[in-house]
Amino acid sequence: MTKTLFQKIIDREIPARIEHEDARCIVIHDIRPQAPVHLLIIPKKPIPRLAEAVTADEAVLGHLLVVAGEMAAKLRLERGLRLVVNSGPDAGESVPHVHVHLLAGRPMAWPPG
């Protein structure tokens, strides 16, 4: 099986600007930011899409949200943030490895798409 871009970053085969790392995830700065703060919160376990997540993935998926909160506190994002998960090509998925976009630092419009 071919490694995803994110697996290569996790394995340090591709450089990235790392904001946080622990045993279950890595947080990097997006190379094409859509907001002044644009982080990617990526599980180290490759889960291609949300539809392919299983009950055993519940803890790591929940951990991604906890880490998002920790990043918000660390970066003092008191004015708000948006979390986005793209799942599938019609949703804008560019890497088949579940990840959470944390966007902040500017007002966000609704609807987002």
Residues noted as catalytic? 99
Q: Report the C-alpha gap between 81 and 106 in whole angstroms.
A: 9
Number of Cβ within a 10 Å radius of residue 10 = 23
Contact 108, 80 (CB under 8 A): yes
